[in-house]
């Protein structure tokens, strides 16, 4: 893969590895989609995307009738995510693709369009750790961290919720970069301790040999660090087998408050058996968060399956499960919501969206809150 300079993102061809397989990886996002040539909409993005915000910054006050202004800081009550008034609440929004690959979408123009035109209330910032330009591999840590900080500040100014996602994928086990994760989440949770709109997703998709015991070992190192700085923030924990084995968390949950557990699906691959697993876990009291999904197959590519997507939609709505769609990019794959020929950062017509993009926008805009 050609290396992208951190200082200036000149137009480059990046070979991005993603995922596939039902019991294997997730889609072109978290799992490993087939290597593909990516024309980043961020091709000319420079380091001006990086935001300089003071450490331990104070959260701006939520303005107007934004989601955060109305609902405030979230918490977990039983199997439910609830708002500051104790009412059940559902987060909905887009997950970025890898922010180091598609940094130009981390901007006010795009986030405003997602809030106002797509009716979303949350953005997930996917920060890959292991892959090319990953935070723990050959990426520029300060630049990538600056993109995360910029995304948090923009979402906060717009009254949106924001998820900081430590995007474990091709390293398989979160234990591989546990020391780096502890340092990162210590810094982030100190910086955003006063930000009631920030959620922490500590390991995207443990997979292959990453058992629930290993995820728990990792979580028991990372969660106390976040809790020391932000005692009651919502923390989202990945589950084994590309975040499909929520039943393992149900059998042996972590002993902390305000935790949720991830279930990821790609509708053309993951069908009734995984839906039944999610439903059973929720009915038995496990707080489940669909922090990533697509309506194509688990590679992040291939044909979409609208019928299966609608089955998932019905289940998610029946249980008021929060959901984040993968992915906000113009990558040439089925799970990207923007057409690969479109470089716009907002104002996308239906013709400039993928089939998944049109479907998810229709779902978002049908929601009332």
Delineate the domains of the chain, giving CATH numbers in brackets: 13-366 (3.20.20.80)
Q: What is the pLDDT of residue 42?
A: 38
344 pLDDT more than 60: yes
**Element containing residue 261 per DSSP (H, E):** strand 259-266
pLDDT in tens, 94-120: 999 999 999 999 999 999 999 999 999
Pairing mode, if any, of strands 122-128 and 92-96?
Answer: parallel
pLDDT band with cut points at 50, 70 and 90 for residue 15: very low
pLDDT in tens, 168-219: 999 999 999 999 999 999 999 999 999 999 999 999 999 999 999 999 999 9
205 is catalytic: yes
Rounded to whole angstroms, the Cα distance separating 81 from 147 reads: 27
Identify the CA nearest to 11 among candidates 49, 53, 40, 51. 40
Rounded to whole angstroms, the Cα distance separating 110 from 299 reads: 26
Return the residue matching tokens 């100014």: 157
290 pLDDT more than 60: yes
What average pLDDT does the structure give for the chain?
A: 88
**CB 76 within 8 Å of CB 287:** yes
- Residue 27 makes CB contacts below 8 A (sequence gap 6+) with 18, 19, 20, 33, 266, 292, 294, 296, 297, 298, 299, 300, 301, 326, 335
pLDDT in tens, 300-337: 999 999 999 999 999 999 999 999 999 999 999 999 99
Q: What is the pLDDT of residue 369?
A: 74
**Degrees, nearest 5: CA angle 267-271-276:** 130
Instruction: Spot the catalytic one: 22, 205, 333, 356.
Output: 205
Rounded to whole angstroms, the Cα distance separating 185 from 77 reads: 24
pTM: 0.87
347 pLDDT more than 70: yes
Neighbours of 63 (CB within 10 A): 11
Rounded to whole angstroms, the Cα distance separating 231 from 299 reads: 37
Q: What is the pLDDT of residue 59?
A: 66
Rounded to whole angstroms, the Cα distance separating 144 from 126 reads: 11
10 pLDDT more than 50: no
Neighbours of 365 (CB within 10 A): 11
> What is the total residue count of the chain?
369
**CB 155 within 8 Å of CB 197:** yes
Q: Copy the structure tokens of residue 263.
A: 């279930």
Instruction: Spot the catalytic one: 292, 314, 352, 355.
Output: 292
45 backbone dihedrals φ, ψ, rounded to 5°: -75, 130
Beta strands in 90-181 (DSSP E): 92-96, 122-128, 161-167
Q: What is the pLDDT of residue 43?
A: 36
* DSSP character at residue 95: E
151 backbone dihedrals φ, ψ, rounded to 5°: -60, -40
* DSSP character at residue 3: P
Return the residue matching tokens 């708002």: 83
* DSSP character at residue 176: G
């Amino acid at each position: 893969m050609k290396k992208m300079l951190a200082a200036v993102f000149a137009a480059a061809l990046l070979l991005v590895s993603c995922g596939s397989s039902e019991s294997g990886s997730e889609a072109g996002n978290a799992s490993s989609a087939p290597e593909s040539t990516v024309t980043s909409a961020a091709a000319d993005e420079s380091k001006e995307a990086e935001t300089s915000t003071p450490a331990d910054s104070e959260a701006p006050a939520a303005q107007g009738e934004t989601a955060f202004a109305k609902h405030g800081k979230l918490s977990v009550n039983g199997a439910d995510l609830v708002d500051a008034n104790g009412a059940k609440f559902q987060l909905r929004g887009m997950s970025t693709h890898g922010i180091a690959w598609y940094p130009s979408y981390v901007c006010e123009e795009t986030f405003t369009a997602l809030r106002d035109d797509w009716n979303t209330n949350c953005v997930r910032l996917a920060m890959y750790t292991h892959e090319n330009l990953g935070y723990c591999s050959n990426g520029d840590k300060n630049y990538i961290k600056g993109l995360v900080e910029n995304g948090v500040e923009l979402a906060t100014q717009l009254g949106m919720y924001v998820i900081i996602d430590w995007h474990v994928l091709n390293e398989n086990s979160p234990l591989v970069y546990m020391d780096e994760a502890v340092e990162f989440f210590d810094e982030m949770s100190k910086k955003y301790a006063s930000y009631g709109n920030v959620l922490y997703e500590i390991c995207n998709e443990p997979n292959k040999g990453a058992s629930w015991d290993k995820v728990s070992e990792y979580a028991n190192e990372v969660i106390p660090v976040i809790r020391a700085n932000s005692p009651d923030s919502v923390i989202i924990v990945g589950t084994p087998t590309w975040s499909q084995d929520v039943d393992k968390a149900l059998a042996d949950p972590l002993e902390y408050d305000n935790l949720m557990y991830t279930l990821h699906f790609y509708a053309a691959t993951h069908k009734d058996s995984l839906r039944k697993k999610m439903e059973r876990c929720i009915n038995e009291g496990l707080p489940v968060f669909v922090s990533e999904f697509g309506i194509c197959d688990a590679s992040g590519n291939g044909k979409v399956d609208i019928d299966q997507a609608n089955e998932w939609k019905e289940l998610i709505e029946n249980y008021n499960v929060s959901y984040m769609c993968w992915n906000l990019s113009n990558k040439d794959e089925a799970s990207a919501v923007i057409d690969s020929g479109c470089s716009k950062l907002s104002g996308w017509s239906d013709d400039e969206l993928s089939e998944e993009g049109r479907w998810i926008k229709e779902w978002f805009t049908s929601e009332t809150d």
